[in-house]
Structure 1
Amino acid sequence: MDATTAPHRIPPEMPKYGEENHIFELMQAMLEQLLIHRPVDPIQFMIQHLQRNNDHVPKIVVLGPPASGKTTIAMWLSKHLNSNLLTKENLIGKRFSPLAVEAKNYYQKFKKLPNSMLVQLMQERMEEDDCIRRGWILDGVPETREQVLMIQTQGLVPRHVIVLNAPDTVLIERNLGKRIDPYTGEIYHTTFDWPSEPEIQNRLIEPKGISELETAQKLLDYHRNIVRILPSYPKILKAISADQPCVDVFYQALTYVQTNHRTNAPFTPRVLLCGPVGSGKSLQAALLAQKYGLVDVCCGQLLKEAVADKSSFGELVQPYFEKKITVPDSIVMKVLASRLEKQDCLQKGWVLHDFPRDVDQALLLHSKGYSPNRVFFLNVPLDSILERLTLRRIDPVTGERFHLMYKPPPTMEIQGRLLQSPKDMEEQVKLEMDLFYRSAAELEEFYKEAIALNGDQDPYTVFEYIESGVINPLPRKVS
């Protein structure tokens, strides 16, 4: 079919299904594995790949100079993510492996391992069932550019690479105080992290090779190699300062490894902005629509337009407007559905606000197939809302809007004729706030992946947070 004369009409259910089930990423991952392994039977290989269901298990590399804390961070990540920690030592010490026995004998004799042998040990370990199911975290490997290339050739590609950095003077001082528990492998420090249990204190030993001269030589070797390693991981690399408390380093690393990388998958934003009256939803929706071409869908405005256009929906809505009572959800949903079904919403995406306001309306929206893929809650305290709304005024002569604090009228004459809208009265604002927060907890529970933002700051700062949440993938939640 010629798309220029007869454009393809893709049903909205298809891209939505593909997005929710990550079909694009799934196909991309399978294609990558096919090209890496080049199996004789591609169909059977893909079936086995799907059965493994491990496209999102941790595959992490933690690098850093001596005494940067990379082993501690790798161990903590391994425990938190329930993944497998792989070090040069435990690869060599692996039981029931002829290759590991050969590597151990070689290491005892020459105090180093050939790159090819190290990569073979890694490949053997990563093909075991627990690494396939729970992923792996590499501590301090690769050490050289040659190892990087050999690892990549074997298809052992990490998803996240963390590099710890600190001044050499700090690292040398740290290294001099390092102590190791020979039973658990835990690392302690005479100044920064001394254990409280006397039993542990008494069995700690000083590791070999931590003198100032030896540490300086290791740092020199590290700096020579790391500059050739980093260019191999341009899009998956996170540099973290190690010159801060270890817990802070760990949480920065954990946040990064739980973040999905942006993919090339087609993405049509369907954004929902929730928040009390006066929280800035309309402004944020307008900014998103302007910058990203989304359709700004304000539910209240749709109802007014339906009445003004005297459409069939408007005839249903008008009696409720005349009596100043709430329009039933079923009618609101009909008006909203008619807008969201239009081609511009399907192609460009939309940003919705003023609906849903409670979990029943959210369920109704979901049942009709209009589920947002990004939800933001704008939290603003009551005092700020009152300041924003109760000081608003309108000039009945010109229709111009003013704010007594942020945009005062230019003359006393204009100020004397300003009027306040009944909906901006303090009692009405407090009532609207109370109604929203009665339903907010249930609504947040319904939208479990919603992002809560502080709306009580500069609107363009709020927009930057919303923009980041729209264009970046949602973080994975570890159970």
Structure 2
Amino acid sequence: MGIIPKHVVVLFAPDIVLIERNLGKRVDISTGEVYHTTFDWPTEDYIQQRLKVPHGISEVETARRILKYHQDYPGILQSFGSCMKLINADQPCADVFAQVFTHVQAPPRTLAPFSPRILLCGPPGSGKSMQASLLSRKYGIINVCCGQLLKEAVADETKLGELIKPYFDSGWPVADNIVVKMLSERLNRLDCHIRGWVLHGFPRDEDQAKLMQRANINPNRVFFLHITPESILERLCYRMLDPVTGERYHTLYQPAASKEASERLLIHPRDLEEAVKLKVDAYLRIAEGLETVFEDAIFINGDQDPQTVFEYIESYIVNPRPTTLGFPLEMA
């Protein structure tokens, strides 16, 4: 996999400036310090006596390097395109640094052609978290997991967290109005406005979806990931956790590397077959009502390789919205 830089900054200057800076360099043969005849020439005579022209720096070598720079520069421009920041280096170092620092501190813009507001729906085990993570990594979209937000609010002891904690302690689902308020606050932050967001874990039923709409949480892409109950059981009921290292494994897809690790693996109670079946049955009972709320939803077969599913989702994000939505993709 190629390395995609978060920021690309190119410093440029006229040739005459590059020649002056290069030919003026002197190195202290005792300490290795580099000085310049114009900018930071030392005042001490004994240091000046130790200064020599660095190996490889001459008019010929300088001309060769500048020529190579002119040959490579168009390729750099073509490789990084609009995501690259050009800064004139023919100014004081402090000014150059300030411009670079301002650029890297600015919130990055998403690579998507619009500000994405994506909602991923589907039964447990359909791959919503995986797809949200892939979208977030590639496009810089804010990954908003409802369950994680609830946990963070409790851990941070926020005002909403104080309201949520009794529900956690009792094991009851958090009240819908509290969840929607928390989501509304998160999705209205500046980073979500600039970079877009992908939400998963909410809504879980028709009533929650309508409550979300009344709170003006309006996704511009809604995806339902369809997967058979048999595949859900296979994905979830074979998940295991190493209590020593915290590593997660799957008996079929990603078994532990050693016998010792394999023998200490534990299964989470929520991944027991009976618990998974109850959650799947509950989702199937409310799925039809949830789907009717989002008339322009896109239906994707989630029972495929994660990268294949991601490519389907990506094609609907980067392309203009079709005039007619709501039809299921051909199940592969």
TM-score, length-scaled by structure 2: 0.63
In 1: Cα distance, 2:136 partner to 2:258 partner: 35
Give the match for residue 225 of structure 1.
none
> Which amino acid letter does the alignment assign opposite residue 405 of structure 1?
L
**Greater C-alpha Rg:** 1
1 or 2 for the larger relative contact order (CA 8 Å, sep ≥6)? Answer: 2
Q: Distance in 2 between matches of 1:338 and 1:278?
A: 27
Cα offset for 1:267?
2.4
SS in 2 for 1:419: coil
Structure 1 counterpart of 2:300, which letter? L
Q: Which residue of 158, 167, 170 maps to 1:311?
A: 158
The C-alpha deviation readout for 1:243-265, integer Å capped at 9, x for no partner, is xxxxxxxxxxxxxxxxxxxxxx9
CA–CA distance in 1 between the matches of 2:193 and 2:207? Answer: 24
Q: Which amino acid aligns with 1:317?
A: I
Counterparts in 2 of 1:340 and 1:414: CA distance versus 1, 3 Å: same
Deviation at 1:365, TM superposition (A): 0.8
1:118-197 to 2 correspondences below 5 Å: none
1:473 and 2:320 matched? yes
Q: Secondary structure in 1 aligned to 2:322?
A: coil
Q: 1:377 aligns with which of 224, 228, 237?
A: 224
Q: CA-to-partner distance for each residue in 1:255-289, whole Å, 9 max, x for gaps?
A: xxxxxxxxxx9721100000000110001001111
Q: Please say if 1:282 is aligned against 2:134.
A: no
Separation (CA, whole Å) in 1 of partners of 2:324 and 2:113? 23
- Which residue in 1 is equivalent to 2:144? 297
The offset of 1:445, in angstroms, is 1.1
Counterpart for residue 249 of structure 2: 402
Q: Aligned residue for 1:354?
A: 201
Q: Does 1:426 align with 2:252?
A: no
Once the 2 structures are TM-superposed, how far is the Cα of residue 346 of structure 1 from its aligned partner?
Answer: 1.0
Question: Helix, strand or coil: the match of 1:456?
Answer: coil
Aligned: 1:336 with 2:200: no
Whole-Å separation in 2 of the counterparts to 1:314 and 1:443:
27
Instruction: Give per-residue Cα distances to partners, 1:58-97, cap 9 Å, x unaligned.
Output: xxxxxxxxxxxxxxxxxxxxxxxxxxxxxxxxxxxxxxxx
Structure 1 Cα separation of the partners of residues 288 and 171 of structure 2: 28
Question: Partner letter of residue 229 of structure 2?
Answer: L
1:455 to 294, 302, 306: 302
Whole-angstrom distance in 1 between the partners of 2:317 and 2:113: 13
- Say which of 174, 177, 185 aligns to 1:327: 174
The 1:289–1:266 alpha-carbon spacing in structure 2 relative to 1, beyond 3 Å, is closer
Q: What are the residue-to-residue correspondences of 1:84-123 with 2, within 5 Å?
A: none
Counterpart position of 1:387: 234
- What is the rounded CA distance, in whole Å, between the counterparts of 1:396 and 1:266 in structure 2? 43
CA distance in 2: counterparts of 1:476 and 1:414, whole angstroms: 53
Q: Which amino acid aligns with 2:149?
A: L
Distance 1:422 1:266 in 2: 42
Q: What is the rounded CA distance, in whole Å, between the counterparts of 1:442 and 1:286 in structure 2?
A: 27
1:375 alignment partner, SS class: strand
Letter in 1 for 2:192: C
TM-score (norm 1): 0.44
Whole-Å separation in 2 of the counterparts to 1:336 and 1:322: 21
Counterpart position of 1:28: none
In structure 2, the residue matched to 1:183 is none
The code of the aligned residue for 2:253 comes to Y
Listed one character per residue, the Cα deviations across residues 10-48 of structure 1 (whole Å, up to 9, x for unaligned) are: xxxxxxxxxxxxxxxxxxxxxxxxxxxxxxxxxxxxxxx
Please give the per-residue CA displacement for 1:104-153, whole angstroms capped at 9, x wherever unaligned: xxxxxxxxxxxxxxxxxxxxxxxxxxxxxxxxxxxxxxxxxxxxxxxxxx
Distance (whole Å) between structure 1 residues aligned to residue 245 and residue 194 of structure 2 = 38
Deviation at 1:419, TM superposition (A): 0.6
Percent identity, please. 57
Give the 3-state SS of the residue equivalent to 2:144 in structure 1: strand
Q: 1:273 aligns with which of 117, 120, 134?
A: 120
Deviation at 1:474, TM superposition (A): 2.3
Deviating runs (4+, > 4 A) in structure 1? Answer: none
Distance 2:158 2:324 in 1: 45
**Unpaired stretches in structure 2, ≥5 consecutive residues:** 1-111, 326-332
